Amino acid sequence: MVDELDFKKEESHFFEKRGELIKRNFAKRNVEVSLMNDTESVYKFIDSFIQDRPYIKHISFSDGVTLYQLDLYKWIKRKYSNLLVTEPLERGETGHYKVFGEQPEGRMNLPYEEWKEKQDLWYENLRKSLLCDLFIISANAITLQGEIISIDGTGNRVAGMIFGPKHVLCIVGKNKISTNIETAFDRINNYAAPMTYIRHLNKHAASFQNLPCVNNGKCYSCNDESSACRDIVIIRGQIKMHKDRLHLLVVNKNIGF
């Protein structure tokens, strides 16, 4: 009997066909795409990527829900304890950046001098991560035509995507595939960005409570002073000599925002 409630085969056919299209279009732009069915395949890919490039000695990350959901921070630290693995945006128990030390829940209340010293260290760690050998990140959207689109506040993620780290692995779930740039921005502005602000508001005591998207569930193209929608970057491929620099991994799962 036909099971009208099970669409695994249809979903997998759709992912395969879209994946082939994405691979072809990104290849024309000198970006190699690998399609992954599960977390285990992501781990295997990273393992062989590192083994094939023994000069990789420093691995670093940007912040990303996708990376948390794949448990990549912990997995890499365990697996590659022989290498330098840095996570400049690592959080402590109460959701503040670890570099600030354990803080009470809610807003930090450090004396200015102490806060400034830690803030400078935080920034310095971000700068150092841009010179790593392997940078592992996610993006806000990719398009079928072969673009990678991200919006950043601090800018460390988009900076590293473009220049600095020797290699970049950009990992996205199938939910981040958009048909074109317009639909990608619609997805980012009206879903990914608000969800990111709500995440930081709830989990990291960030002061995003006044943003229009947080309060209305859609983007108002605001210029609120607390908005982190500052660096809007479209990567439309890489130059031929950088063919092995940025690799895109597309996972057959809904992960990240």
Interface with ligand SF4 (CB under 6 A): 189, 193-194, 211-213, 219-222, 224, 227, 229
Q: Could you tell me the smallest distance in angstroms from the CB atom of residue 218 to ligand SF4?
A: 8
**With b meaning 16 or more CB within 10 Å and e meaning fewer, what string describes 172-202?**
bbbbbbbeeeeebbebbbebbbbbbbbebee
Choice between 24 and 230, CB closer to ligand SF4: 230
Q: Could you tell me the smallest distance in angstroms from the CB atom of residue 227 to ligand SF4?
A: 4
Choice between 36 and 206, CB closer to ligand SF4: 206
Which residues does 177 contact at the CB level (< 8 Å), separation at least 6?
18, 22, 141, 142, 143, 144, 250
Q: Could you tell me the smallest distance in angstroms from the CB atom of residue 190 to ligand SF4?
A: 8
Q: Are 244 and 30 in contact (CB under 8 A)?
A: no
Q: Where are the beta strands (DSSP E) in 157-215?
A: 167-173, 177-178
Calpha distance 204→94 (Å, rounded): 7
Calpha distance 67→171 (Å, rounded): 8
Amino acid at site 54: P
Choice between 7 and 220, CB closer to ligand SF4: 220
Choice between 39 and 154, CB closer to ligand SF4: 154
Choice between 64 and 165, CB closer to ligand SF4: 64
Q: Could you tell me the smallest distance in angstroms from the CB atom of residue 145 to ligand SF4?
A: 24
Q: Could you tell me the smallest distance in angstroms from the CB atom of residue 234 to ligand SF4?
A: 16
Q: How far is CA 160 from CA 119, 126, 167, 169, in A?
A: 20, 10, 9, 11
Choice between 136 and 139, CB closer to ligand SF4: 139
Neighbour-count burial of 130, counting CB atoms closer than 10 A to its CB (0-12 exposed, 13-18 middle, 19+ buried): middle
Cα Rg of the chain, angstroms = 19
Map tokens 């806060």 to a residue: 115
Q: Could you tell me the smallest distance in angstroms from the CB atom of residue 181 to ligand SF4?
A: 17
**What sign for the dihedral angle of Cα 40, 195, 164, 116?**
negative
Q: Could you tell me the smallest distance in angstroms from the CB atom of residue 221 to ligand SF4?
A: 5
Choice between 73 and 197, CB closer to ligand SF4: 197
